[in-house]
Structure 1
Amino acid sequence: MDMRGRTRWLPPLCALLVLTAGCRKSDEFAVLPLQAAPELEVPQASGGIFRLSEQRGKVVVLSFGYTSCPDVCPTTLNQLQRLQRRLGAAARDLQVVFLSVDPERDSAEQLEKYVHAFNPRFLGLRLEEGSLASVLSAWHVTAARHYPDTTRYRQHPFKQDVPYTIDHTGAFFVVDKRGVLRLRLPFSVGAEYLKDEVARLLAEDEDPSVGPRVEKARAMVTPSRVGAVYLTLVNGTGRDDRLVSAESSSAGRVELHEVLAEGELLRMNPRPEGFALPARSRVELEPGGKHLMLYAVPAAAAQLDLTLRFEKAGPVRLSVPVSEPGADAL
Protein backbone atom coordinates (compact mmCIF):
# COMPACT_ATOMS: atom_id res chain seq x y z
CA MET A 1 0.00 0.00 0.00
CA ASP A 2 1.39 3.44 -0.96
CA MET A 3 1.48 6.43 1.41
CA ARG A 4 -1.78 7.81 0.00
CA GLY A 5 -3.51 4.58 0.92
CA ARG A 6 -2.08 4.67 4.42
CA THR A 7 -3.18 8.25 4.86
CA ARG A 8 -6.73 7.36 3.87
CA TRP A 9 -6.83 4.73 6.64
CA LEU A 10 -5.66 6.99 9.47
CA PRO A 11 -8.97 8.79 10.21
CA PRO A 12 -11.03 5.56 10.58
CA LEU A 13 -8.32 4.07 12.78
CA CYS A 14 -8.27 7.11 15.02
CA ALA A 15 -12.07 7.09 15.14
CA LEU A 16 -11.96 3.48 16.29
CA LEU A 17 -9.50 4.38 19.05
CA VAL A 18 -11.71 7.25 20.17
CA LEU A 19 -14.59 4.82 20.57
CA THR A 20 -12.44 2.46 22.64
CA ALA A 21 -9.47 3.88 24.54
CA GLY A 22 -9.20 7.24 22.77
CA CYS A 23 -6.31 8.62 20.74
CA ARG A 24 -4.41 9.57 23.88
CA LYS A 25 -1.64 7.32 25.17
CA SER A 26 -1.80 6.40 28.85
CA ASP A 27 1.76 7.66 29.36
CA GLU A 28 1.28 10.96 27.53
CA PHE A 29 1.48 12.98 30.75
CA ALA A 30 3.80 10.67 32.68
CA VAL A 31 6.66 12.31 34.58
CA LEU A 32 9.85 10.54 33.48
CA PRO A 33 12.28 9.40 34.66
CA LEU A 34 10.50 8.17 37.78
CA GLN A 35 11.67 9.96 40.91
CA ALA A 36 10.38 11.02 44.29
CA ALA A 37 8.06 14.01 44.31
CA PRO A 38 9.58 17.26 45.63
CA GLU A 39 9.45 17.70 49.37
CA LEU A 40 6.25 19.33 50.61
CA GLU A 41 5.91 20.32 54.26
CA VAL A 42 3.33 23.08 54.51
CA PRO A 43 0.93 24.40 57.19
CA GLN A 44 -2.65 23.26 56.71
CA ALA A 45 -5.37 25.88 56.74
CA SER A 46 -7.20 23.80 59.34
CA GLY A 47 -4.12 23.60 61.59
CA GLY A 48 -1.18 21.24 61.81
CA ILE A 49 1.43 20.46 59.17
CA PHE A 50 0.87 18.56 55.93
CA ARG A 51 3.86 16.39 55.06
CA LEU A 52 3.83 14.63 51.72
CA SER A 53 6.23 12.07 53.17
CA GLU A 54 3.48 10.99 55.59
CA GLN A 55 1.03 10.21 52.79
CA ARG A 56 2.61 6.87 51.81
CA GLY A 57 -0.09 4.41 50.85
CA LYS A 58 -2.29 7.15 49.44
CA VAL A 59 -2.51 8.74 46.01
CA VAL A 60 -2.19 12.51 46.34
CA VAL A 61 -3.58 14.94 43.77
CA LEU A 62 -2.09 18.41 44.21
CA SER A 63 -3.24 21.58 42.48
CA PHE A 64 -2.23 25.23 42.85
CA GLY A 65 -4.62 28.18 42.88
CA TYR A 66 -6.27 30.89 44.96
CA THR A 67 -9.68 31.58 46.45
CA SER A 68 -10.35 34.75 44.41
CA CYS A 69 -9.91 32.82 41.17
CA PRO A 70 -13.17 33.19 39.22
CA ASP A 71 -12.93 30.26 36.82
CA VAL A 72 -9.98 27.84 36.67
CA CYS A 73 -9.69 27.05 40.39
CA PRO A 74 -13.38 26.33 41.10
CA THR A 75 -13.52 24.29 37.89
CA THR A 76 -10.47 22.31 39.04
CA LEU A 77 -11.93 21.60 42.48
CA ASN A 78 -15.32 20.70 41.00
CA GLN A 79 -13.59 18.18 38.77
CA LEU A 80 -11.74 16.72 41.75
CA GLN A 81 -14.98 16.50 43.70
CA ARG A 82 -16.53 14.54 40.84
CA LEU A 83 -13.43 12.36 40.72
CA GLN A 84 -13.79 11.58 44.42
CA ARG A 85 -17.45 10.67 43.96
CA ARG A 86 -16.89 8.51 40.86
CA LEU A 87 -14.08 6.52 42.48
CA GLY A 88 -16.46 5.30 45.17
CA ALA A 89 -14.88 3.28 47.98
CA ALA A 90 -11.43 3.52 46.34
CA ALA A 91 -11.40 7.26 47.11
CA ARG A 92 -10.62 6.51 50.76
CA ASP A 93 -6.96 6.23 49.67
CA LEU A 94 -7.07 9.49 47.68
CA GLN A 95 -5.98 12.82 49.18
CA VAL A 96 -6.76 16.04 47.33
CA VAL A 97 -4.56 19.02 48.22
CA PHE A 98 -4.99 22.66 47.13
CA LEU A 99 -2.03 25.01 47.71
CA SER A 100 -2.70 28.73 47.64
CA VAL A 101 -0.49 30.92 45.45
CA ASP A 102 -2.03 34.07 46.98
CA PRO A 103 -1.14 34.13 50.69
CA GLU A 104 -1.67 37.90 50.88
CA ARG A 105 -5.43 37.56 50.34
CA ASP A 106 -5.98 33.91 51.30
CA SER A 107 -6.10 33.72 55.08
CA ALA A 108 -6.04 30.26 56.65
CA GLU A 109 -9.70 30.63 57.67
CA GLN A 110 -10.78 31.72 54.21
CA LEU A 111 -8.80 28.96 52.51
CA GLU A 112 -10.24 26.23 54.74
CA LYS A 113 -13.79 27.47 54.13
CA TYR A 114 -13.12 27.59 50.39
CA VAL A 115 -11.80 24.04 49.92
CA HIS A 116 -14.38 22.52 52.29
CA ALA A 117 -17.14 24.08 50.20
CA PHE A 118 -16.16 21.57 47.51
CA ASN A 119 -15.39 18.61 49.78
CA PRO A 120 -14.70 18.44 53.54
CA ARG A 121 -11.91 15.92 52.90
CA PHE A 122 -9.93 18.32 50.71
CA LEU A 123 -6.93 19.97 52.36
CA GLY A 124 -6.00 23.61 51.88
CA LEU A 125 -2.32 24.53 52.30
CA ARG A 126 -0.96 28.01 52.89
CA LEU A 127 2.61 29.31 52.92
CA GLU A 128 3.79 32.81 53.70
CA GLU A 129 5.01 34.80 50.71
CA GLY A 130 8.68 34.29 51.54
CA SER A 131 8.40 30.49 51.60
CA LEU A 132 6.14 30.09 48.59
CA ALA A 133 8.70 30.79 45.85
CA SER A 134 10.90 27.78 46.67
CA VAL A 135 7.91 25.41 46.61
CA LEU A 136 6.71 26.77 43.27
CA SER A 137 10.20 26.37 41.87
CA ALA A 138 10.53 22.79 43.09
CA TRP A 139 7.25 21.82 41.43
CA HIS A 140 7.94 23.91 38.29
CA VAL A 141 4.86 26.03 38.85
CA THR A 142 4.40 29.61 37.64
CA ALA A 143 2.36 32.19 39.55
CA ALA A 144 2.42 35.89 38.63
CA ARG A 145 0.09 38.75 39.53
CA HIS A 146 -1.81 40.39 36.69
CA TYR A 147 -3.02 43.95 37.36
CA PRO A 148 -5.67 45.72 35.29
CA ASP A 149 -4.78 48.70 33.09
CA THR A 150 -5.65 51.54 35.46
CA THR A 151 -5.82 54.04 32.60
CA ARG A 152 -9.05 52.37 31.53
CA TYR A 153 -10.61 53.25 34.89
CA ARG A 154 -9.69 56.92 35.17
CA GLN A 155 -13.34 57.88 35.31
CA HIS A 156 -13.94 55.27 38.03
CA PRO A 157 -10.79 55.12 40.15
CA PHE A 158 -10.32 52.23 42.60
CA LYS A 159 -11.18 53.26 46.15
CA GLN A 160 -9.03 50.54 47.72
CA ASP A 161 -6.04 48.50 46.60
CA VAL A 162 -5.93 47.78 42.88
CA PRO A 163 -7.42 44.31 42.41
CA TYR A 164 -5.43 41.67 40.62
CA THR A 165 -5.72 38.16 39.26
CA ILE A 166 -2.95 35.57 39.23
CA ASP A 167 -1.72 33.86 36.10
CA HIS A 168 -0.74 30.42 37.34
CA THR A 169 -0.01 26.89 36.22
CA GLY A 170 -3.21 24.89 35.85
CA ALA A 171 -2.37 21.23 36.34
CA PHE A 172 -3.07 18.14 38.42
CA PHE A 173 0.11 16.79 40.03
CA VAL A 174 -0.49 13.12 40.88
CA VAL A 175 1.79 11.41 43.42
CA ASP A 176 1.53 7.64 43.85
CA LYS A 177 1.44 5.51 47.01
CA ARG A 178 5.22 5.38 47.18
CA GLY A 179 5.68 9.14 46.99
CA VAL A 180 6.69 9.20 43.32
CA LEU A 181 5.42 12.04 41.10
CA ARG A 182 3.80 10.00 38.33
CA LEU A 183 1.61 12.41 36.37
CA ARG A 184 1.37 16.10 35.49
CA LEU A 185 -2.05 16.40 33.91
CA PRO A 186 -3.18 19.65 32.25
CA PHE A 187 -6.23 21.55 33.42
CA SER A 188 -8.00 20.60 30.18
CA VAL A 189 -7.70 16.84 30.69
CA GLY A 190 -10.99 14.99 30.38
CA ALA A 191 -12.84 13.77 33.46
CA GLU A 192 -12.84 10.17 32.27
CA TYR A 193 -9.12 10.20 31.57
CA LEU A 194 -8.40 11.72 35.00
CA LYS A 195 -10.53 9.06 36.70
CA ASP A 196 -8.90 6.20 34.80
CA GLU A 197 -5.37 7.37 35.57
CA VAL A 198 -6.00 7.96 39.28
CA ALA A 199 -7.89 4.65 39.58
CA ARG A 200 -4.93 2.88 37.98
CA LEU A 201 -2.57 4.31 40.60
CA LEU A 202 -4.99 3.50 43.42
CA ALA A 203 -5.04 -0.13 42.26
CA GLU A 204 -1.26 -0.46 42.40
CA ASP A 205 0.31 -2.37 45.24
CA GLU A 206 2.23 -0.42 47.82
CA ASP A 207 5.90 -1.01 48.44
CA PRO A 208 6.13 -4.21 50.56
CA SER A 209 8.96 -2.62 52.54
CA VAL A 210 6.54 0.06 53.80
CA GLY A 211 4.37 -2.50 55.59
CA PRO A 212 0.81 -2.08 56.86
CA ARG A 213 -0.54 1.39 57.58
CA VAL A 214 -2.49 2.38 60.67
CA GLU A 215 -5.33 4.89 60.36
CA LYS A 216 -7.70 6.54 62.86
CA ALA A 217 -5.99 5.11 65.95
CA ARG A 218 -7.67 6.19 69.19
CA ALA A 219 -8.04 4.80 72.72
CA MET A 220 -10.71 5.00 75.38
CA VAL A 221 -9.81 4.41 79.03
CA THR A 222 -12.35 3.99 81.83
CA PRO A 223 -12.03 5.19 85.47
CA SER A 224 -11.04 1.58 86.28
CA ARG A 225 -7.94 2.21 84.13
CA VAL A 226 -8.85 -0.45 81.61
CA GLY A 227 -9.84 0.33 78.07
CA ALA A 228 -9.42 -0.40 74.38
CA VAL A 229 -7.62 0.81 71.27
CA TYR A 230 -9.53 1.09 68.01
CA LEU A 231 -7.94 1.63 64.60
CA THR A 232 -7.93 0.65 60.95
CA LEU A 233 -5.21 -1.60 59.51
CA VAL A 234 -4.50 -1.08 55.80
CA ASN A 235 -2.49 -3.59 53.79
CA GLY A 236 -1.85 -2.08 50.36
CA THR A 237 0.71 -4.69 49.35
CA GLY A 238 0.29 -7.91 47.40
CA ARG A 239 1.18 -10.18 50.32
CA ASP A 240 -0.86 -11.41 53.26
CA ASP A 241 0.17 -10.43 56.77
CA ARG A 242 -1.12 -10.81 60.32
CA LEU A 243 -1.18 -8.65 63.45
CA VAL A 244 0.20 -11.06 66.05
CA SER A 245 0.62 -8.92 69.18
CA ALA A 246 0.71 -5.44 70.66
CA GLU A 247 2.54 -3.86 73.58
CA SER A 248 2.77 -0.49 75.28
CA SER A 249 5.01 1.09 77.87
CA SER A 250 1.92 3.12 78.82
CA ALA A 251 -0.11 0.07 79.92
CA GLY A 252 0.50 -2.95 82.10
CA ARG A 253 -0.66 -5.31 79.35
CA VAL A 254 -2.16 -5.24 75.86
CA GLU A 255 -4.14 -8.16 74.44
CA LEU A 256 -5.92 -8.80 71.14
CA HIS A 257 -9.65 -9.35 71.75
CA GLU A 258 -12.90 -9.62 69.84
CA VAL A 259 -16.46 -9.19 71.10
CA LEU A 260 -18.68 -12.07 70.00
CA ALA A 261 -22.47 -11.87 70.30
CA GLU A 262 -24.55 -14.93 71.14
CA GLY A 263 -28.05 -13.53 71.22
CA GLU A 264 -28.04 -11.00 74.04
CA LEU A 265 -24.89 -12.48 75.51
CA LEU A 266 -21.72 -10.60 74.63
CA ARG A 267 -18.53 -12.57 75.09
CA MET A 268 -15.01 -11.08 75.27
CA ASN A 269 -12.94 -13.53 73.26
CA PRO A 270 -9.09 -13.38 73.38
CA ARG A 271 -7.45 -13.73 69.97
CA PRO A 272 -3.93 -15.05 70.69
CA GLU A 273 -3.63 -16.12 67.03
CA GLY A 274 -3.92 -12.48 66.03
CA PHE A 275 -5.89 -10.74 63.29
CA ALA A 276 -5.39 -11.75 59.66
CA LEU A 277 -4.59 -8.90 57.27
CA PRO A 278 -5.03 -10.19 53.69
CA ALA A 279 -3.30 -8.57 50.74
CA ARG A 280 -4.89 -5.32 49.52
CA SER A 281 -7.39 -5.19 52.38
CA ARG A 282 -8.53 -3.12 55.33
CA VAL A 283 -9.32 -4.55 58.76
CA GLU A 284 -11.34 -2.47 61.20
CA LEU A 285 -10.74 -2.64 64.95
CA GLU A 286 -13.87 -0.95 66.26
CA PRO A 287 -16.23 -0.86 69.26
CA GLY A 288 -18.23 -4.06 69.58
CA GLY A 289 -15.78 -6.04 67.44
CA LYS A 290 -12.04 -6.55 67.16
CA HIS A 291 -9.96 -4.32 69.44
CA LEU A 292 -6.82 -4.10 71.56
CA MET A 293 -7.61 -4.58 75.27
CA LEU A 294 -5.68 -2.34 77.67
CA TYR A 295 -4.93 -3.15 81.32
CA ALA A 296 -3.48 -0.99 84.12
CA VAL A 297 -3.28 2.31 82.23
CA PRO A 298 -1.79 5.15 84.34
CA ALA A 299 -4.36 7.74 85.41
CA ALA A 300 -2.48 10.65 83.82
CA ALA A 301 -2.02 9.07 80.38
CA ALA A 302 -3.06 11.40 77.54
CA GLN A 303 -1.16 9.42 74.89
CA LEU A 304 -0.29 5.76 74.57
CA ASP A 305 2.98 4.63 73.04
CA LEU A 306 1.90 1.54 71.13
CA THR A 307 3.88 -1.06 69.20
CA LEU A 308 2.03 -3.36 66.81
CA ARG A 309 3.89 -6.50 65.74
CA PHE A 310 3.10 -8.03 62.37
CA GLU A 311 4.06 -11.50 61.25
CA LYS A 312 5.89 -10.31 58.11
CA ALA A 313 6.21 -6.54 58.33
CA GLY A 314 7.57 -6.56 61.88
CA PRO A 315 6.98 -3.76 64.41
CA VAL A 316 5.00 -0.60 63.70
CA ARG A 317 5.21 2.09 66.38
CA LEU A 318 2.68 4.87 66.92
CA SER A 319 1.32 7.27 69.50
CA VAL A 320 -2.39 6.98 70.25
CA PRO A 321 -4.52 9.76 71.82
CA VAL A 322 -6.48 8.70 74.92
CA SER A 323 -10.06 9.83 75.59
CA GLU A 324 -12.03 9.59 78.78
CA PRO A 325 -15.56 8.10 78.71
CA GLY A 326 -18.10 10.54 77.31
CA ALA A 327 -15.54 12.39 75.20
CA ASP A 328 -17.31 11.30 72.01
CA ALA A 329 -13.97 10.47 70.35
CA LEU A 330 -14.93 7.07 68.98
Structure 2
Amino acid sequence: MKHRARIPAWLATAAALLSALCALAADRPTLKAGVFEPPRAAPELSLDASTGGTLSLAGYRGKVVLLGFGFTSCPEVCPTTLAVLAQARKRLGPQADQVQVVYVTVDPERDSADRMRAYLKGFDPTFVGGTGTPAQLAAARKNYGVMAERKNIGNTYTVGHSSSVYLIDRQGLLRGMMPYGRLPDDYVHDVRALLSE
Protein backbone atom coordinates (compact mmCIF):
# COMPACT_ATOMS: atom_id res chain seq x y z
CA MET A 1 0.00 0.00 0.00
CA LYS A 2 1.36 3.40 -0.99
CA HIS A 3 1.36 6.19 1.55
CA ARG A 4 0.93 9.79 0.51
CA ALA A 5 3.50 12.15 1.93
CA ARG A 6 1.82 14.45 4.40
CA ILE A 7 2.84 18.11 4.40
CA PRO A 8 3.17 19.46 7.92
CA ALA A 9 0.70 22.23 8.69
CA TRP A 10 3.48 24.71 9.51
CA LEU A 11 5.11 24.11 6.13
CA ALA A 12 1.85 24.68 4.29
CA THR A 13 1.29 27.90 6.25
CA ALA A 14 4.82 29.10 5.51
CA ALA A 15 4.38 28.35 1.81
CA ALA A 16 1.09 30.27 1.72
CA LEU A 17 2.70 33.23 3.51
CA LEU A 18 5.65 33.25 1.12
CA SER A 19 3.29 33.14 -1.84
CA ALA A 20 1.32 36.09 -0.46
CA LEU A 21 4.50 38.12 0.13
CA CYS A 22 5.71 37.41 -3.42
CA ALA A 23 2.35 38.52 -4.82
CA LEU A 24 2.53 41.72 -2.75
CA ALA A 25 6.06 42.46 -3.98
CA ALA A 26 4.97 41.79 -7.56
CA ASP A 27 2.24 44.43 -7.18
CA ARG A 28 4.82 47.10 -6.30
CA PRO A 29 6.00 49.25 -9.17
CA THR A 30 9.56 48.89 -10.44
CA LEU A 31 11.64 51.90 -9.41
CA LYS A 32 14.78 53.27 -11.00
CA ALA A 33 16.05 54.13 -7.51
CA GLY A 34 17.52 51.52 -5.21
CA VAL A 35 14.60 50.10 -3.25
CA PHE A 36 14.03 49.44 0.43
CA GLU A 37 12.58 45.96 0.62
CA PRO A 38 10.48 45.66 2.58
CA PRO A 39 9.50 49.35 2.83
CA ARG A 40 9.73 50.78 6.34
CA ALA A 41 8.53 53.89 8.09
CA ALA A 42 10.65 56.90 7.19
CA PRO A 43 12.30 58.31 10.33
CA GLU A 44 10.44 61.43 11.43
CA LEU A 45 12.02 64.88 11.38
CA SER A 46 11.45 67.65 13.89
CA LEU A 47 13.46 70.60 12.61
CA ASP A 48 13.10 74.32 11.95
CA ALA A 49 11.42 74.71 8.56
CA SER A 50 12.56 77.31 6.04
CA THR A 51 8.89 78.21 5.71
CA GLY A 52 8.56 78.88 9.44
CA GLY A 53 7.38 76.54 12.17
CA THR A 54 8.40 72.92 12.51
CA LEU A 55 9.40 70.64 9.66
CA SER A 56 7.70 67.27 10.08
CA LEU A 57 7.34 64.55 7.46
CA ALA A 58 3.93 63.70 8.89
CA GLY A 59 2.75 67.07 7.61
CA TYR A 60 3.28 65.82 4.04
CA ARG A 61 1.36 62.56 4.36
CA GLY A 62 -0.56 62.00 1.15
CA LYS A 63 2.33 63.35 -0.96
CA VAL A 64 5.49 61.72 -2.25
CA VAL A 65 8.44 63.28 -0.44
CA LEU A 66 11.89 63.60 -2.03
CA LEU A 67 14.29 64.07 0.89
CA GLY A 68 17.87 65.21 0.45
CA PHE A 69 20.70 66.43 2.66
CA GLY A 70 23.10 69.23 1.71
CA PHE A 71 24.01 72.86 2.35
CA THR A 72 23.67 76.26 0.76
CA SER A 73 27.43 76.85 0.33
CA CYS A 74 27.86 73.58 -1.58
CA PRO A 75 29.76 74.34 -4.80
CA GLU A 76 28.47 71.63 -7.11
CA VAL A 77 26.63 68.54 -5.82
CA CYS A 78 23.76 70.29 -4.01
CA PRO A 79 22.89 72.82 -6.73
CA THR A 80 23.05 70.05 -9.32
CA THR A 81 20.72 67.83 -7.28
CA LEU A 82 18.27 70.66 -6.59
CA ALA A 83 18.24 71.71 -10.25
CA VAL A 84 17.43 68.10 -11.25
CA LEU A 85 14.62 67.94 -8.69
CA ALA A 86 13.22 71.27 -9.93
CA GLN A 87 13.25 69.98 -13.53
CA ALA A 88 11.57 66.74 -12.47
CA ARG A 89 8.85 68.65 -10.65
CA LYS A 90 8.15 70.76 -13.76
CA ARG A 91 7.95 67.64 -15.94
CA LEU A 92 5.36 66.13 -13.60
CA GLY A 93 2.87 68.76 -14.72
CA PRO A 94 -0.38 68.65 -12.69
CA GLN A 95 1.07 65.85 -10.52
CA ALA A 96 3.74 68.21 -9.18
CA ASP A 97 1.33 69.32 -6.45
CA GLN A 98 1.47 65.77 -5.06
CA VAL A 99 5.24 65.95 -4.51
CA GLN A 100 7.23 67.72 -1.80
CA VAL A 101 10.99 68.27 -1.94
CA VAL A 102 12.58 68.55 1.52
CA TYR A 103 16.25 69.52 1.87
CA VAL A 104 17.95 69.20 5.27
CA THR A 105 21.17 71.09 5.92
CA VAL A 106 24.42 69.48 7.00
CA ASP A 107 25.83 72.94 7.86
CA PRO A 108 23.85 74.41 10.79
CA GLU A 109 26.56 76.98 11.48
CA ARG A 110 25.76 78.88 8.27
CA ASP A 111 22.33 77.61 7.21
CA SER A 112 19.60 79.45 9.07
CA ALA A 113 15.97 78.93 8.08
CA ASP A 114 16.00 82.33 6.32
CA ARG A 115 19.13 81.52 4.34
CA MET A 116 17.72 78.15 3.29
CA ARG A 117 14.45 79.74 2.20
CA ALA A 118 16.25 82.24 -0.03
CA TYR A 119 18.54 79.57 -1.46
CA LEU A 120 15.85 76.99 -2.22
CA LYS A 121 13.55 79.60 -3.74
CA GLY A 122 16.11 79.98 -6.52
CA PHE A 123 15.36 76.40 -7.60
CA ASP A 124 11.65 76.08 -6.82
CA PRO A 125 9.55 78.16 -4.41
CA THR A 126 7.79 75.03 -3.11
CA PHE A 127 11.01 73.40 -1.84
CA VAL A 128 11.26 73.29 1.97
CA GLY A 129 14.50 73.33 3.93
CA GLY A 130 15.19 72.00 7.40
CA THR A 131 17.74 73.20 9.92
CA GLY A 132 18.27 72.96 13.67
CA THR A 133 20.90 72.44 16.32
CA PRO A 134 23.98 70.35 15.51
CA ALA A 135 22.59 67.61 17.76
CA GLN A 136 19.19 67.59 16.03
CA LEU A 137 20.78 67.42 12.59
CA ALA A 138 23.24 64.73 13.65
CA ALA A 139 20.31 62.63 14.86
CA ALA A 140 18.47 63.11 11.56
CA ARG A 141 21.56 62.08 9.60
CA LYS A 142 22.07 59.03 11.78
CA ASN A 143 18.46 57.93 11.24
CA TYR A 144 18.96 58.04 7.47
CA GLY A 145 22.54 56.77 7.39
CA VAL A 146 23.83 60.07 6.00
CA MET A 147 27.51 60.95 6.32
CA ALA A 148 28.68 64.55 6.77
CA GLU A 149 32.24 65.67 7.50
CA ARG A 150 33.52 69.22 7.90
CA LYS A 151 36.72 69.95 5.99
CA ASN A 152 38.70 73.11 6.74
CA ILE A 153 40.02 75.06 3.75
CA GLY A 154 42.16 78.01 4.79
CA ASN A 155 39.94 80.48 6.66
CA THR A 156 36.73 78.72 5.68
CA TYR A 157 35.37 75.19 5.36
CA THR A 158 33.23 72.91 3.28
CA VAL A 159 31.22 69.82 4.18
CA GLY A 160 31.61 66.47 2.48
CA HIS A 161 28.30 64.60 2.64
CA SER A 162 26.16 61.79 1.26
CA SER A 163 24.30 62.92 -1.83
CA SER A 164 21.48 60.43 -2.45
CA VAL A 165 17.82 61.46 -2.36
CA TYR A 166 15.30 59.39 -0.39
CA LEU A 167 11.89 58.59 -1.85
CA ILE A 168 9.09 58.46 0.72
CA ASP A 169 5.63 57.35 -0.39
CA ARG A 170 2.27 58.87 0.46
CA GLN A 171 1.89 56.61 3.50
CA GLY A 172 5.22 57.78 4.95
CA LEU A 173 7.16 54.65 3.98
CA LEU A 174 10.77 54.77 2.84
CA ARG A 175 10.67 53.24 -0.64
CA GLY A 176 13.83 54.17 -2.50
CA MET A 177 17.16 55.96 -2.55
CA MET A 178 18.19 57.70 -5.77
CA PRO A 179 21.96 58.10 -6.20
CA TYR A 180 23.56 61.37 -7.24
CA GLY A 181 23.82 61.98 -10.96
CA ARG A 182 20.48 60.58 -12.07
CA LEU A 183 18.34 62.42 -14.61
CA PRO A 184 15.06 64.29 -13.99
CA ASP A 185 13.16 61.61 -15.95
CA ASP A 186 14.32 58.96 -13.46
CA TYR A 187 12.64 60.93 -10.68
CA VAL A 188 9.54 61.50 -12.81
CA HIS A 189 9.27 57.77 -13.46
CA ASP A 190 9.59 56.83 -9.78
CA VAL A 191 7.29 59.56 -8.49
CA ARG A 192 4.58 58.57 -10.97
CA ALA A 193 5.02 54.93 -9.99
CA LEU A 194 4.53 55.77 -6.30
CA LEU A 195 1.56 58.02 -7.03
CA SER A 196 -0.11 55.24 -9.02
CA GLU A 197 -0.35 52.96 -5.98
TM-score by length of 1: 0.49
User: Higher strand proportion, which one?
Assistant: 1
Which string of whole-angstrom CA distances, capped at 9 and with x for unpartnered residues, describes residues 176-225 of structure 1? 00000001110122322221011111222xxxxxxxxxxxxxxxxxxxxx
Residues 27 and 84 (structure 1 numbering): CA distance in 2 closer, same or farther, change over 3 Å? closer
Counterpart Cα distance in 2 of 1:95 and 1:26: 18
1:1-330 equivalences in 2 (<5 Å): 26=31, 29-148=34-153, 162-204=155-197
After the TM superposition, which parts of structure 1 deviate over 4 Å for at least 4 consecutive aligned residues?
none
How far apart are residue 33 of structure 1 and its match? 2.0
SS at match of 1:112: helix
Residues 28 and 53 (structure 1 numbering): CA distance in 2 closer, same or farther, change over 3 Å? closer
SS at match of 2:186: helix
Residue identity matched to 1:146: K
Residue identity matched to 1:126: T
Which string of whole-angstrom CA distances, capped at 9 and with x for unpartnered residues, describes residues 25-60 of structure 1? 736600122111111122102211121122211000
SS at match of 1:164: strand
Which shows bigger deviation, 76-85 or 183-192?
A: 183-192
Counterpart Cα distance in 1 of 2:84 and 2:125: 15
Residues 28 and 170 (structure 1 numbering): CA distance in 2 closer, same or farther, change over 3 Å? closer
Q: RMSD of the TM alignment (CA)?
A: 1.4
Which shows bigger deviation, 120-129 or 38-47?
A: 38-47
In structure 1, the gaps of 5 or more residues are 1-24, 151-161, 205-330
Counterpart Cα distance in 2 of 1:180 and 1:194: 17
Residues 45 and 77 (structure 1 numbering): CA distance in 2 closer, same or farther, change over 3 Å? same
SS at match of 2:96: helix
Counterpart Cα distance in 2 of 1:42 and 1:82: 26
Counterpart Cα distance in 2 of 1:102 and 1:192: 29
SS at match of 1:125: strand
SS at match of 1:84: helix
How far apart are residue 138 of structure 1 and its match? 0.3
Counterpart Cα distance in 2 of 1:39 and 1:82: 27
* Larger Rg computed on CA atoms: 1
Which string of whole-angstrom CA distances, capped at 9 and with x for unpartnered residues, describes residues 152-179 of structure 1? xxxxxxxxxx211111000110100000
Which string of whole-angstrom CA distances, capped at 9 and with x for unpartnered residues, describes residues 209-260 of structure 1? xxxxxxxxxxxxxxxxxxxxxxxxxxxxxxxxxxxxxxxxxxxxxxxxxxxx
How far apart are residue 129 of structure 1 and its match? 1.1
Counterpart Cα distance in 1 of 2:120 and 2:185: 22
Counterpart Cα distance in 1 of 2:77 and 2:33: 22
SS at match of 1:34: strand
TM-score by length of 2: 0.81
Q: Which has the higher contact order (CA 8 A, sep 6+)?
A: 2
Count of paired positions: 168
Counterpart Cα distance in 2 of 1:106 and 1:121: 18
Residue identity matched to 2:138: A
Counterpart Cα distance in 2 of 1:135 and 1:28: 21
